A and B are shown apart, each in its own frame.
Chain A
Amino acid sequence: GAVVSQHPSWVICKSGTSVKIECRSLDFQATTMFWYRQFPKQSLMLMATSNEGSKATYEQGVEKDKFLINHASLTLSTLTVTSAHPEDSSFYICSARLQGGQPQHFGDGTRLSIL
């Protein structure tokens, strides 16, 4: 149980394009979803927290207009990297949680490469 699917797993695109990453909780309804960024050999860096039907809460230093998060249903959240540039290249991971006091379950991540 508690499976989180993230798609795509790897995307390469040209500078200036927008990229959408999907995160789905397959066998539970997630009241809260989280988006992380991870640089090589470093720990997870929380970008934003989203609750279904509400605006996402972004961490300090994360550009809201750059990283658009939509949490339209209890099983789907999307992260759109707008006008992506090479410095946005990274490993992006989502997680989902049923409710407070429950652990987060992670997707397998998306490797984003901007040329």
Chain B
Amino acid sequence: QKEVEQDPGPLSVPEGAIVSLNCTYSNSAFQYFMWYRQYSRKGPELLMYTYSSGNKEDGRFTAQVDKSSKYISLFIRDSQPSDSATYLCAIDNFNKFYFGSGTKLNVKP
């Protein structure tokens, strides 16, 4: 079983839609969770960084961690064409990092 599982998509939505991106993980001891956005031929850009359970909001983005289900989510409200990218979830287990395979999102104008 992989440490982190992520649906590769692609996910296509109309502009203005609410997007839900999800990952599951295997180890209940994991505590640090991140979401990155990666545009084509660019490095990943940190969007959200959360510790333990709960929600964290930053503008149109909300990160949610459900430790009981070992499930992490990223919600994007009022999605824009500029949000079209690949989104990677990541877990930091101190000096060991686990990345999801990435979900490709396409927001259609």
Residues of A within 8 A of B (CB): 2, 4, 6, 32, 34, 42-44, 46, 49, 91, 93, 95, 100-101, 103-109, 111
A75 and B51 CA atoms in complex are apart in Å by: 26
A69 and B46 CA atoms in complex are apart in Å by: 24
* Complex contacts, A109 vs chain B, CB 8 Å: 41-43
Interface of chain A: mostly helix, strand, loop or mixed? strand
Starting from the known contacts A6-B43, A104-B46, A104-B90, 10 additional A-B residue pairs (CB-CB under 8 Å) come to A44-B88, A46-B97, A93-B43, A103-B49, A106-B43, A107-B43, A108-B43, A109-B41, A109-B42, A109-B43
A101 and B94 CA atoms in complex are apart in Å by: 6
Given contacts A44-B44, A93-B43, contact A104 B97 (CB under 8 A): yes
CB of B7 within 8 Å of the partner chain: no
